[in-house]
Structure 1
Amino acid sequence: MQEAHATPSPQPPVEIIGAGLTEGHMCRHVYDVVRKANVLVGGRRMLARYLGHPAQKIEIVSPLSAVIEAIERNQSLSLHVVVLADGDPLFFGIGRRLVEALGADKVRIHPGITALQAAAARLKIAWEDIPAVSLHGRSDWIPLFAALSRRPRVAVYTDATNTPAAIARRLLERGAEAFGMHVLENLHEPDERVGRYTLTEAASLDFAPLNLVILECERAPELPLRLGLPEESLSPGGLITKAPVRAASLAALSLPADGTLWDLGAGSGAVSIEAAVLMERGRILAVERDAGRMERIRENIRRTHAFSVEPVQGDMTEAMASLPDPDRVFFGGGLSRDTRPLELACARLVSGGILVANLVLLDGLSRAKAYLDSLGWETDVTQLSCCRSKPLAGDMRLEGLNPVFILRGVKP
């Protein structure tokens, strides 16, 4: 007679619940899921809703790996584990991390109302085209600057460091005073407050720790951000890379959607500003020594809303030391007599990165190409010669622009 073996009970899935902003936001069937829980996992504020619940409580704190280990351990004991997430667990929430750590077949997701949805309802605006940027526990501001360059409204999730006031100050520094700020505090709580402020007003105010910011453009850019910006609009009578050379140089750079671009000797910032059109999530650093040109760069950023361009004033060789390693480097000039900036930039460029330099003198081209060749880089040179029409006697003539050599190097 064969010995009977008990079939082990299947492990129940971890229930990840979007609890919305208040308990009343949860669907009716979710209450039954919470009621049956043996283990409740959530932030301190969320667990405070269930002080009388008999389940074991696990607070979500750093490091998150320890919390995940506790969830896995309890799930392996066939206990019903319920994770309570603010808003929706898959919208800047813990859901993605738990799916990756536990496996999609080990979890069940219950969606919830996000702060963005609730805020849009309060402001009576559609939200399907509002990008959301999270600064909660993050120090990368580029996604926010890039979103503001492209959309009239942007939602921002804040934290104790990146407060509405800190955001307002940072945007003012970048020239984004065309935006107003909605701050929605303690949504769906008795002390809820919704206010609209100028950035200058918000910069000096204190807000409740629980808040969401929606930035709204109140004045369209004076010069819409696009490729082929007119030279006289960016630098009337000043130093600027001509539009045909700009177009060819940007093509040679083969700019990625993200990553970091150094624009060394940025002049009016024309290349940086048009690069912002192509680098949707990229960081663009416009380095310029001359104070007057630097002021022009800041003004052009303000006028075009190219907020992902970061002006850096200083000598290019000194400025490089404090910049993050680039994926792309552009020299608009400055290599005719001194190759030191080129040497420093080559050393810092990441493997597989591309360097493009505009040169007008043969000796400068020869020295720069020889240096790249000595490093074993793949190089090529394009000479760009073009003419522009000029009115003459009721007709037009063609006037030649100075030829420019476009040197391109790819780092192994």
Structure 2
Amino acid sequence: MSPAPPPPAVPAPVSAVSVVGIGADGWAGLPGTARAVLLDAEVLIGGERQLGLLPPECAGRRVSWPSPLRPAVRGLLAEHAGSRTAVLASGDPMFYGIGRALTEELGAGALRVLPHPSSVSYACARLGWPVEDTETVTLVGRPAARLAGALHDGRRLLVLSAGAATPAAVAALLREHGFGPSRMRVLEQLGSPAEDCLYGIADTWEHPAGDPLNVVAVECRSTPGTLRLGAVPGLPDEAYEHDGQLTKRHVRAATLGVLAPAPGELLWDIGGGSGSIAAEWMRTHPSCRAVTVERDPVRAGRIARNADRLGVPGLRVVTGRAPDALAGLPVPHAVFIGGGLTAPGMLDACWDALPPGGRLVANTVTLESEALLADWYRRLGGDLVRLAVAHAVPVGGFTGWRQAMPVTQWSVQKTPHAPGDDR
């Protein structure tokens, strides 16, 4: 039997919107194809700096993006629908650029993207760093605390700056986190005739604010004795500000193991305490998201500070009592319950919120909550385990074991027809 013929190709629609990447070298650095698009455009949309790089021969109507930019995208595109529109972007539009917003609004098939070398490509070329081995962190429109999660001895980082003040902010953050010996280079106006590079060490960085168009290159070096924060769950307990409400290191590592975070997934962390589960969930991948629910306002503030310190300032903290505080939250891929298990309706609300394939993990140290988990385990299955950790401590002139309170943990994955779900 012969194989079925492939489906006919669907032609891409003729695009009315072209997205043209432009570098600091402006018109002179554009290839002929990009120049032709800009010369032909009836409408030119971009930042004031980008529009200022075009010659008078580009006669289309020039429209500057307002601030904030993202909410204005749909309206501006609709206003100029039917016109030959060209949108200007810095470097590669699909690399932390306007290309993402345009694709979300119009769809990839309605765009023609003409990329220019990105600032990362230029920076790696100047530094001799392989692009694939260099981590990029953007601080454009984002808090500097994001950089903290990328700090590891020996790593090379490129920081996309929000402006002239970013290099000093990077140096201050490096010092604060014990990476003062790190070497810094600020590459300004990459690709233009005014290109320049400033050198220094974070500990002694005293350069005044320079050109706002810059990229910061960092070679990470820590001060001896700096607390080591690895790339896998189970950070030292000392990494957290806490009042004793903290899932301890070894139990935390085991808990994240069964929660099994994957890129792009969202966690509900209920009874956040110090936020350790949510923070380490987000540290596993830059696209991981988390919402932590904590009823105590003091602890909620502490969670936010821990999130900043560990490089995940995007952690959303909801101050309120679950399960009522769960109403209106986005659908989770996984739920962790670290406190409040016996609150009426808690497990029902969390289980009902999960889509098929979602995971639920609950930890407890009390007999009452343990009995509740045993009942749910009987009906829904999953894994019910007891985690016990002992630490060596001095006993007189000798050494003995001090047992921590054992933790009972129930974990389960939701299937389309979960066995025993007869509530």
Q: TM-score range by the shorter chain?
A: 0.5 to 0.7
Give the Cα separation in 1 of the matches to 2:15 and 2:280. 53
Q: How far, CA to CA, are the matches of 2:216 and 2:344 in structure 1?
A: 42
Task: Return closer, same or farther for 1:54/1:219 CA change in 2, 3 Å cut-off.
Answer: closer
Query: Which residue in 1 is equivalent to 2:371?
Result: 366
Give the structure with higher Rg (CA): 1
- Structure 1: state its 5+ residue gaps: 1-9, 76-80, 391-397
Offset, 1:105: 5.2
1:382 corresponds to which of 367, 384, 388: 384
| Matched residue, 2:65 | 61
Which residues of 2 match residues 78-89 of structure 1 at below 5 A?
81-89=85-93
5 Å-filtered alignment, 1:275-286, equals 275=281, 278-283=284-289
Mapped to 2, the partners of 1:110 and 1:177 lie a distance apart of 39
Structure 1 contact 384–406 (Cα < 8 Å) conserved: yes
- Checking the alignment, whether the CA contact within 8 Å between 1:272 and 1:309 is kept in structure 2 is no
Q: Counterpart of 1:259? A: 266
Q: Alpha carbons of 1:101 and 1:71: their partners in 2 closer, same or farther (altered >3 Å)?
A: farther
Judging changes above 3 Å, is the alpha-carbon distance between structure 1 residues 256 and 266 closer, same or farther for their aligned structure 2 residues?
farther
CA deviation map 1:106-158 (0-9, x unaligned): 5443331212222233334332332334343x347786554446992333333
Question: How far apart are the structure 1 equivalents of 2:237 and 2:149?
Answer: 25
Structure 1 pair 159/194, CA: closer, same or farther in 2 (3 Å)? Answer: same
Distance 1:100 1:230 in 2: 37
SS of 1:116's equivalent in the other structure is helix
Q: Structure 2-normalised TM-score?
A: 0.61
Percent identity between matched residues is 25
Cα contact 1:20–1:26 (8 A) shared by 2: yes
Deviations 1:86-113 (A, max 9, x none): 2123222333444555555554433312
Secondary structure, aligned partner of 2:211: coil
8 Å Cα contact 1:263/1:271 also seen in 2: no
Would you say the 8 A contact 2:365–2:406 is kept in 1?
yes
**SS of residue paired to 1:382:** strand
Indicate the SS of the match to 1:119.
helix
Return the letter of the residue paired with 1:185. Answer: E
Measured at CA, do residues 405 and 208 of structure 1 come closer, stay the same or move farther in structure 2, by a change above 3 Å?
same
Partner residue of 1:195 out of 195, 198, 222: 198
- Partner residue of 2:10? none
Deviations 1:357-392 (CA, angstroms, capped at 9, x unpaired): 33333234236778x89xxx96866132669899xx
Contact 2:234 2:252 in 1 (8 A): no
The aligned counterpart of 1:78 is: none
Judged with a 3 Å threshold, the aligned counterparts in structure 2 of structure 1 residues 13 and 232 are, in CA distance, closer, same or farther, namely: closer
* Matches of 1:230 and 1:154, distance apart in 2: 22
- CA distance in 1: counterparts of 2:214 and 2:350, whole angstroms: 44
What amino acid is the match of 1:127?
V
Q: Which moved more, 1:355-364 or 1:173-182?
A: 173-182
8 Å CA contact 1:378–1:410 kept in 2: the answer is: no
Aligned equivalents of 2:353 and 2:142: distance in 1?
Answer: 22
Does 1:39 find its partner at 2:42? Answer: yes
Q: Which residue of 1 aligns with 2:95?
A: 91
Equivalent position amino acid for 2:266 in 1: G
Where does residue 406 of structure 1 map in the other structure?
Answer: 409
Residues 101 and 309 (structure 1 numbering): CA distance in 2 closer, same or farther, change over 3 Å? Answer: closer
The equivalent residue for 1:356 is 361
CA 1:176–1:61 in 2, change beyond 3 Å: closer, same or farther?
farther
CA RMSD of aligned residues (A): 5.8
Q: 2:256 aligns with which of 250, 253, 256?
A: 250
Tell me the amino acid that sits aligned with residue 99 of structure 2. Answer: G
Q: Secondary structure at the match of 1:128?
A: helix
AA at the equivalent of 2:211: A
Distance in 1 of aligned mates of 2:50 and 2:279: 44
Alpha carbons 2:187, 2:195 under 8 Å: kept: yes
Residues 266 and 401 (structure 1 numbering): CA distance in 2 closer, same or farther, change over 3 Å? same
Q: Give, as a single letter, the amino acid of the residue that structure 2 aligns with 1:249.
A: T
Choose 345-354 or 400-409, whichever is displaced more: 345-354
User: How far apart are residue 69 of structure 1 and its match?
Assistant: 3.1
Partner deviation per Cα, 1:255-298 (whole Å, 9 max, x = no partner): 3434345385767x875676456455335669899x9xx99xx9
Structure 1 residue 158 and structure 2 residue 161: aligned?
A: yes
- Kept in 2, the 8 Å contact 1:283–1:309? The answer is no
CA offsets per residue over residues 201-244 of structure 1, 9 Å max, x none? 66995343322233431239764625585989989xx9986776
User: Is 1:72 aligned with 2:77?
Assistant: no
Residues 287, 312 of structure 1: 8 Å contact kept: no
Number of residue pairs matched by the alignment: 375
Contact 1:383 1:406 in 2 (8 A): yes
1:186 to 182, 186, 189: 189
Say yes or no: does 1:120 pair with 2:124: yes
1:335-354 paired onto structure 2 within 5 Å: 339=342, 351-352=354-355
Q: Is the 8 A contact 2:153 2:221 kept in 1?
A: no
Q: 1:21 aligns with which of 14, 20, 24?
A: 24
Contact (CA 8 Å) 1:18, 1:26: kept in 2 or not? no
1:394 counterpart residue number: none
Alpha-carbon distance, 1:61 to partner: 1.2
Residue 112 of structure 1 aligns to a residue whose secondary structure is: coil
- Structure 2 Cα separation of the partners of residues 239 and 103 of structure 1: 46
SS state of the match for residue 194, structure 1? strand
* Residues in 1 aligned to 2:216 and 2:119: alpha-carbon distance in whole angstroms: 10
Structure-1-length-normalised TM-score: 0.62
Match of 1:209 among 212, 236, 246: 212
